[in-house]
Structure 1
Amino acid sequence: MSDYDDDGDHDVAPNYENMRGMGFICWREIPATNDEVHEDIQLNKKKKKQKKKRKLDAVETEQEIETPIKKVKTKKKKRSNETNMTSSLQIINENNKDEVETTSNNDTIETAKKVWSDLHVSENIIRSLLEKKFYDPTPIQRLTLPAAIRDRLDIIGAAETGSGKTLAFAIPILTHMNRLLESNEMSYGQFTSLILTPTRELAVQIKSHIQTICRYTKFKTAVVVGGMSTQKQERLLSQKPEIIVATPGRFWELLQENNEHIIDMSNLRFLAIDETDRMIEKGHFEELEKILNLTNNDDNNQLRQKFVFSATLMLQSNTDNEKKKQKKKKDDSQDKLTTLISAVGISAKPKIIDLTKKFGTVETLTEARVNCSLEDKDLYLYYFLTLYSGRTLIFTNSIDCIKRLQSILAILKRNPLPLHAQMEQKQRLTNLEKFSNSDNGLLVATDVAARGLDIPNIKHIIHYQVPRSTQLYIHRSGRTARAEREGLSVMFICPEELFLYRKIIKTLNRDEDLQAFPIDITYLSNLKRRVRLASEISKLHHQVAKVANETNWYHKAAKELDIELDDNIRDIEQAKTANAKDIQKKEIQLRNELDLLLKQPLKYSSSLNISCSYPLLFGDPDQLASRRKNDMTALDELKHRS
């Protein structure tokens, strides 16, 4: 049906190409009024007169088409006015909406600017914060910034992970550095600030946060950590960064080598220690204590501002039995903590801020458990990953467990990324970046990833193995539910780990067990075969790889010694190689079988009595349940079934 079929008349469409230069078609930006309609009619009459002045040889043609054009013009104009009115109203509404949004956004920015300014933050840092849409300081920042900036107090702070502790010490340091620069009390290129942290990844992350908020300054920040080339880090230090973020081990190593930039502590005005509870653990405390003894030996220590932060600094178990069992261990930790605070040189009246909740975890975190046998953990893990999408971080207690899980999950096409201490630093950072950039990223890590890392939008934390301490549980779980967002932590518990689980529950002052995560057993039967095949394939692949490595080792050793292999060894190797080929054939068969299974959709048979909730009038209950199941997040599922 044409655009001109609104009523009974069938008009001839005008030739728009010929009329283009005549201004025949125009769109108004405001609704047409009656006066404007009259003006348009007068304008049309003028255009008709102009047409009559055309060349004589076109007069007849004009007369022939004059009536249809007149009709078309009148009707078209009427339609154009109606269309103009609708279009104009839409444009006005959109403009009004944009104006409202712009005004609202400007109000938000002005309000945020005043909030940060009231906390005594310098203007160039506020500008960076607002550009990153950091409009509202977190509780730890609101309490820390006035005391640290206005009152110049030393700070001892404790708050949950994801609460903004990094900016709570970084903003005061940068604000003071700006003011020292303005008053000529420091100059560019002086080693002014030292931030110590237990892990390499956390050091890199802190540097990233600092660079974000000091965008409009000329301060340079360098990372000094193990696992990276010493020569490269010396080159970075040769650029004379004002701020150094370091792990104690590598920083102490460079100090012993008398690096010219860091050996002079006379200009060091700010010292921050992050994740303090981890610092007093084995492997960090000795080097940290040496560094602090060195910083306290200069005359400027009284001028130096210190920050000591952690997520579990004040956390203590209140269970009598546990106090008796671990009294010596706790006394040692408390002695170390007291020694550390003393070594830092905290002033007599520091500002102490403790925002840790009674339960040790943030309120936006939902916690659950899955009780299963050790053998079924792989099945329940695959069940969770298959049914619930989203960025997921899996924690284990050992590197061997990571390697096994990585193999099985890769065979199941889950694309896992490993993260552990035996990996090269470059590969660790690469895997973290891949994980952060994928909405359905899957990271399998030891507790090297448990502390301080701020990876955005992690939806699920899975404790594949129960953590060995309450602090580790808090830090692991703290990788999700950050910045007031919701998150889910699920602990897989086998009978052998019940004692660890009970200890965590008691230490966190919980009166009840964690809620059980709902498992639909109708899915398990379909998934169990897949997991079993993947496990068998992984074992076979490991056997083949082991034989290949042994064979290569013998041949490599013989070549280096310039000798020939003994006949007995050669026969054994040949037999192993032949056996490995048979194993490899079996592995290929199983892989083909698994590939066929993975291509098949999961069959869902509802184990829930949902027919009452979903009457047959609206469709098949199983299909409706399946659709509803697929749309649900893990958190939704937990809330729905609890």
Structure 2
Amino acid sequence: MDIDKILQKLHIEKLNNMQLDVARAVATTADDIIILSPTGSGKTLAYLLPSVFRLNPALDTLQMVVMVPSRELAKQSVEVMRSMGVPLRGMALYGGRPAMEEHREINKLKPQVVFATPGRMNDHIAKHNVNPMGVRLLVIDEFDKSLEMGFADEMQRVVDSLPSVERRILLSATDCPDIPRFVNMQHTCRIDYTEPDSGISAADRIRSFVVRSEQKDKLDTLLHLLLSFGEKSSIVFLNYRSSVERTWQFLQDKGFVCSMYHGGLDQRQREDNLYKFSNGSATVLVSTDLASRGLDIPDVDNIIHYHLPQGEAEYTHRVGRTARWDAEGRTFVLLGPEEHLPEYTDPGMPEYEIGVTPTEPPLPRMATIYIGKGKKDKISKGDVLGFLCKKCQLQGAEIGRIDVNDRYCYAAVARAKVKSVLRLAATEKIKNVKTVVEAVR
């Protein structure tokens, strides 16, 4: 494994200061490590990059467990590891699908690293689907969120089931509360980049504005604000599922191609909606705070607080969805007639004048299609690309992001070509196998 080749695969020119400090701590000490750094600063790569060099690719045993609070973070983290191109096998374990299906995959893949939600990890350990005795490295990502979500007991069971752990790494976007004793941290090294002068803060790359609504119901103000953004991508945060659904329906009726995201949706709906937004097939994501953490969505231009955040931490995590890495972004606080800026925001935040807006929103350039075969059917990204080019007559510039899951694929294609793609695909096979190809609505 060569670190320069890994960074080249990831299209990263150099590590930031936080990532360098983590790498030094892992390489030069035997300490347990607490990493505090804002959302979007690259914490997943920070712990993965030095950790993979501590694992033995020749062993077919589980050597590293990464506990995460959500299935989305589990899936995204394992994809980061796979994109590094290292000779290690990783797997995401999470609820919402049969544990037996995961067990069969574990037996087949023999993962050396797993990214797991606490409950599902305990399930596999209890059923002897994984052998915990070879685990030397334990990572708990979004540790503060895991505690907030009530996972302390489940995390303790996982920790107690890993008797051979030699090093622990805890990560958080905000300062952690006291670390519970069950984590058993030893000789702790604390790497704190949450301070404003740490060099990681995105504050200098985010412009913040107040948008005032004359009505208590702020939907019309939101509409004109979004219309003023044109094709720019935006996340609209609300505090309640019912409000998300109402706002999403309103924007759909006004002609926006937008996605909805909250905990009441089933797994397939959440994945479809999130994928449409992240690949540019939808310009707006309307969500509860569920989307404020654990999701790696690049190139979000605008964050809109339709409802005021419930606290400073929620505000921080929402804002952290934009200006990721070295990008720039904007955040907008919508205030009704009787609402005021929270104390933790900048009291000098300027007002944003919306001005004259178009009457209709522009359609996204891309749309998303679903292909009903995946990795377990021996389908690769190259197979999907070839299918779209040869069988569906698309050019390279008309194809966007392709994601291959276990049983299905998503692909972004030029919106103007969707009808012809579906018509041509209806009579074709992918790798000599007939499958469903349909648009993701």
- The TM-score bracket by the shorter chain reads 0.7 to 0.9
User: In structure 2, which of residues 204, 225, 232 is the aligned counterpart of residue 384 of structure 1?
Assistant: 225
SS at match of 2:161: helix
SS of 2:154 mapped into structure 1: helix
Q: In structure 2, how many angstroms separate the alpha carbons of the residues matched to 1:518 and 1:357?
A: 32
Q: Deviations over 1:258-289 (max 9, x none)?
A: 2331xx32210111111111111143222122
Inter-partner Cα distance in structure 1 for 2:214 and 2:270: 31
Q: Which amino acid aligns with 1:312?
A: T
Q: Render the CA deviation track for 1:460-487: whole Å, top value 9, x for unaligned.
A: 1111111111111111110110111100
Shift, 1:380, TM fit: 1.3
Question: Structure 2 matches for 1:520-599, cutoff 5 A?
Answer: 520=355
Question: 2:141 maps to which residue?
Answer: 274
Higher relative CO (Cα under 8 Å, sequence separation at least 6) belongs to: 2
Alpha-carbon contact 2:31-2:167 (below 8 Å) kept = yes
Unaligned 5+ runs, structure 2: 362-441
Q: Deviations over 1:99-146 (max 9, x none)?
A: xxxxxxxxxxxxxxxxxxxxxxx41x4313213321210121111101
How big is each residue's C-alpha offset from its partner over 1:238-276, in whole Å with a ceiling of 9 and x where there is no partner? 2221111011122223333x2331xx3221011111111
Letter in 2 for 1:313: D
Change beyond 3 A, Cα 1:173–1:370: same
* 1:151 alignment partner AA: T
1:386/1:175 CA distance change after superposition, 3 Å: same
The amino acid of 1:345's aligned partner reads N
**Which of 228, 232, 238 pairs up with 2:101?**
232
| Secondary structure in structure 1 of the residue aligned to 2:132 | coil
For residues 342-391 of structure 1, give each alpha carbon's deviation from its aligned partner in whole angstroms, at most 9, with x where no partner exists: 3222212x221111133975321111222325534111111111111211
Distance in structure 1 (CA, Å) of the matches to 2:228 and 2:235: 15
What CA RMSD, in Å, does the superposition of the two structures yield over aligned residues? 2.3
**Is contact 1:221–1:243 with CA below 8 Å preserved after alignment?**
yes
Structure 1, unmatched stretches of 5+, are: 1-121, 182-186, 315-333, 532-642
Which of 12, 15, 20 matches 1:137? 15
- The match for 1:347 is 186
SS at match of 2:210: strand
Q: TM-score, normalised by structure 2?
A: 0.75
Equivalent of 1:252, from 106, 113, 122?
Answer: 122
How far the C-alpha of 1:497 sits from its partner, in A, is 4.8
Moved more, 145-154 or 359-368: 359-368
* Separation (CA, whole Å) in 1 of partners of 2:257 and 2:282: 10
2:243 is aligned with 1:401: yes
SS in structure 2 of the partner of residue 381 of structure 1: helix
Partner of residue 211, structure 1: 82
Q: How does 1:73-472 map to 2 (within 5 A)?
A: 122-123=1-2, 125-177=3-55, 180-181=56-57, 187-213=58-84, 215-217=85-87, 219-239=88-108, 240-256=110-126, 258-261=127-130, 264-295=131-162, 298=163, 300-301=164-165, 304-313=166-175, 334=177, 337-339=178-180, 342-348=181-187, 350-358=188-196, 362-373=203-214, 375-389=216-230, 390-438=232-280, 441-472=283-314
Tell me what 2:381 maps to. Answer: none
List aligned pairs for 1:30-109, cutoff 5 A: none
Q: Which amino acid aligns with 2:167?
A: Q
- d(CA) in 2 for partners of 1:514 and 1:129? 38
Deviations 1:578-636 (A, max 9, x none): xxxxxxxxxxxxxxxxxxxxxxxxxxxxxxxxxxxxxxxxxxxxxxxxxxxxxxxxxxx
Tell me, in whole angstroms, the C-alpha distance in 2 between the residues paired with 1:388 and 1:347. 50
SS of residue in 2 equivalent to 1:277: helix
* Shift in Å, 1:496: 5.6
Matching residue within 295, 320, 333 for 1:491: 333
Q: Shift of residue 437 of structure 1?
A: 1.4
Q: Contact 1:199 / 1:448 at 8 angstroms: preserved in 2?
A: no
2:409 alignment partner in structure 1: none
Contact preservation (8 Å) 1:160, 1:362: no
In the alignment, the residues of structure 1 paired with residue 35 and residue 203 of structure 2 have an alpha-carbon distance, to the nearest angstrom, of: 16
Give the secondary-structure state (helix, strand or coil) at the position aligned to 1:444: strand
Rounded to whole Å, the distance in 2 between the matches of 1:451 and 1:352 is 22
Aligned residue type for 1:365: I
CA distance in 1, matches of 2:282, 2:269: 20
C-alpha separation between the residues in 2 aligned to 1:444 and 1:259? 40
CA distance in structure 2 between the partners assigned to 1:421 and 1:405 by the alignment: 16
SS at match of 2:92: strand
Partner SS for 1:176: coil
TM-score normalised to structure 1 length: 0.53
| % identical aligned pairs | 27
